[in-house]
Amino acid sequence: MDLSELVTRERVRDTYARYTHAGDRFLLDDLAACFTPDGVLEIAGASTVTGRSAIRELLGGGGRPQETRVAPRSVRHFVSNLQFTSVGAAQVEASAYFQVLVESDAHSGLDHWGRYRDVLAPVGDEWLFAHRTVRVDFAVPGGWYAARR
């Protein structure tokens, strides 16, 4: 592994962290900025959208009744086991597991968990999601995520 690959891996890790922190704070513009301008967010079995504005709309509750758009008091994503499948000059493939804890009136604690499968591309000095597939393996019945579906 050479220095350029190490730099690429650290930039990818930074993108994962920026995405997670923005999502926890419902900063959807910052979260969408973690994608290439024509980036794809695929929530397996539910939705696939392309482009930053469509990503903001999907995650902001577009099309759902107002009562399901209420954010919990606290959200914390925990990402683990980041694995680089391939690291190249034009593309990185990576995957990770996630768990989400929430605090809300209806439910507090572990809410849902699953896997990310990602393709990232370089944009300037950053590595951004060109395609992110989110697969939720389980959502707690009556929890915040389950109520959004």
**How much is the pLDDT for 68?**
47
Number of domains within the chain? 1
**How much is the pLDDT for 36?**
98
SS3 assignment, position 89 = coil
What strands, in cross-sheet order, belong to the sheet with 126-139? 47-50, 35-43, 126-139, 108-123, 92-103, 74-87
Q: What is the DSSP string of 30-48?
A: HHHTTEEEEEEEEETTTEE
Phi, psi angle pair for 46, to nearest 5°: -130, -65
C-alpha to C-alpha distance for 76 and 99, rounded to whole angstroms: 8
User: Over the stretch 105-132, which tens digit does the pLDDT of each residue have?
Assistant: 878 899 999 999 999 999 999 999 999 9
Task: Report the chain's C-alpha Rg in angstroms.
Answer: 15
End-to-end CA distance of the chain: 42
Residue 72 sits in a domain whose CATH number is 3.10.450.50
CA angle, residues 51, 143, 40, in degrees to nearest 5: 15
| Domain extent at residue 112 | 3-148
